[in-house]
Structure 1
Amino acid sequence: MIVKETAKQLVTPVVLSVAGAVAVWAALHFTAPKSVSREATATSISNSISSFDSDRWREAVEKVKADRVNPENVALEVPPEMRHYEDRHWFLATQVAEVKKHNIQTCQDFVDVAMMLKRGEMVVVPAVTDDYVLLGVGARADDGAFTKYEDDQPIPLYDEAQLRDEYARLNGLRSNVSEGAKAKSRADTAKNPDRAKQDDKPKQSVVSRPFSVNEERALLDQYYNQPASRQQLFADYDSLQSLARSFRGRSYDISSPTDRQAMKIAMLSSLRPEALKVLEEVAKDYRRQYDRPLPVSSLVRPEQYQHTLRRYNRAATTIDTPPHSTGLAFDIDYRYLSASEQNFVMAELARMKDAGRIEVLRERNANFHVFAFIDGVRPSDDLITASLRDAGAPPPEPDNANKPPAKQTRAPEKAKEKPAKSKRRVKR
């Protein structure tokens, strides 16, 4: 009996100790924060970069537009690095030369953007961070169907079922208009038989629509009746469809106009990694100095979108190699920046240009246009000279054709300008 009691006294503390240890382990194991999986982390990041209408984005925009409390009476000083060269074509030619130097693929349309995103040649840019905010990016994106841009004309993109539906729709329109024209002709004859005999030609307004329908049909026939181009267009549609299933943390229905517009804006919020690195560096320095995000108004722009933009913004170039179509160019919106802030940003950009990392220009439409060089090395003057014609420069005059071109210098610096006043403009 005494032995049993002694054993009981010895075992009880051990059991309680083990039970306590188990309880502590269970508490730590089941209540400790779980590590986030890669998928969850990716989703969280994607959600944050797609939030163009989030509270954080709105707060950042308000901070950008806020009146400066104690604006300094500082004169605007535009450094020579931010001005045009004596030959203004040299600025664009420098960017064209970089494309030639690295054989860079440009974006003709949203299909190209989608493919470059999939290959990792382009990366998504967050709508808002602590250092910058996208303001006006994709402002001219429409809700129209996606198209392939070839030979300066848009080609509608469909899958096989949609293509059949489109042919049926066009055939129905042509049939309806034809019947309408016949009915109108019979009515005109009944009202005025003599006049109908004199002029039996249908009016232009009656036949104009069939011609339009016929043109649409001819465009489909031209590209979809050829086996090779037909399969390529189907593949292009599949590429967009694949990206739409999961892009920037959400899915898009590309048959929905609202989703199409949202997806286009999201795709236009992309850059090549080399350009994003420059953007992040400038924005970080600006935010550290002024405690506000840097407004960025434009990133990648496919050539098709560039032509649309040209209708609203004459500064949007239409040369064969628009800088924004490379994914290496971005615009900083200086409308809301004080003279002191502009001077600071321009000094940073001028420093980068002197180091050979970027080409840059202070444009009159309230943008700092920045173009990043792939390897941080400026193209040679010889290559830039060879690219002048591609940048829109006229051919050299016969008398001077054999003379070596003079090395371009920046335009002479003007006197200090007065403090800039904010001016509204149409977004690029």
Structure 2
Amino acid sequence: MSPAAGAHVPLLPEKKHQRSKSPSVSGAVFNVSTSIIGAGIMSIPATLKVLGVIPALLLIVIIAVLADISVDFLMRFTNSGESTTYAGVMRESFGPFGSVITQLCVIITNLGCLIMYLIIIGDVCSGNQREETVHLGVLQEWFGIHWWNSREFAILFTVVVVMLPLVLFRRVESLSFSSAIAVLLALVFVGISSVMAIVSIVQGKTQTPRLVPHLDQRTTFFDLFTAVPVIVTAFTFHFNVHPIGFELAKPSDMTKAVRISLLLCAALYSTIGLFGYLLFGESIASDILVNFDRSSDSAMGSLLNDVVRLSYALHLMLVFPLLNFSLRANIDEFLFPMKPLLASDTKRFVSLTLVLLLFSYLAAIAFPNIWYLLNFLGSTTAVCLAFIFPGAIALRDVHGISTTGDRIKAMTMVILAVVSSAIAISTNVYDMFGSKS
């Protein structure tokens, strides 16, 4: 069976329209929302510092709307064809090359995100050292520095005890309960951060935020584009559209779930961005969790700081299996296109799962910072999956279903994505190498 048929994705039925008892829309909302809310939310407040409050919040809304349009393109062309995977839809439009490039983008994006999740979990539990500043983790603050709460051991314990049992599930619907808990933990994180910011406002401890970007000799107009990839990455969930969508009874259910999730996540991003910026001002770090390791002047303040950090670390532990699922499926389809269903081959399923966990763990130990990963993914593979590929599918229109409005939306989306990513990549490269010369 060809890769376009999507038979190697373990959670899909053998035929597109032969579905067993379908999960609820609410379960899909939790799974989609959990796929969206990942490491990107940690850097959203820093984008407000770079762009200013008004442009950043406007950009969050624009990218959420574009994400809704791109998912609509994907689902419509999927249901008009014979494919049940993202790579399969691209194969129908652009041949084998389209399928392969999509699989590679999903693999790079998801693997990068999983590594980022483990880095953040390590930061929360065991801290890190950036330049001359040492940040202690929650476990080190509570118990002192020991071998068992070192970064390497804390991440290893999390991978084996928490993540391994979850990634062994073979249906994405089985993760709906853990996804619901993950969304709740994200709400706890945002809620506590907002309350802390409001208290600081009442006490007069906050600085007036910049409503528009401030350009000077250190910050140019092109530097503003480096914030765009962060928000793009924060809204990239398209690799899980097909696994989640084809477990629902009707395509309209997935459309409804996506729109509810995008509305929820845009509200969460806007809230944490605004209140996080108000809480820490110009000292906001690229990863806001780093700001919460500061000593507080009260026991309650210290407790809230720890709850904020731990709630989001737990959230990422529960997001990990969702991204690992689509990563594993695409790697298996890429490497073993003629093999039987991955879910039916226990040896291959378990072996691939363990290899991915081991690689993610080793990479998280080797790489200390998430900002560079976010910028790279958001400027390359993530923007392709979220906007360029769906727009290209609508413009190619192999099924003859695109309207004039669809083509205008698709062309606009592709042009904006390509131009902004090119500027962001060029600016980042210049900042890394040009400023040193």
TM class by shorter chain equals under 0.3
Higher strand share: 1
Larger Rg belongs to:
1
TM norm structure 1: 0.22
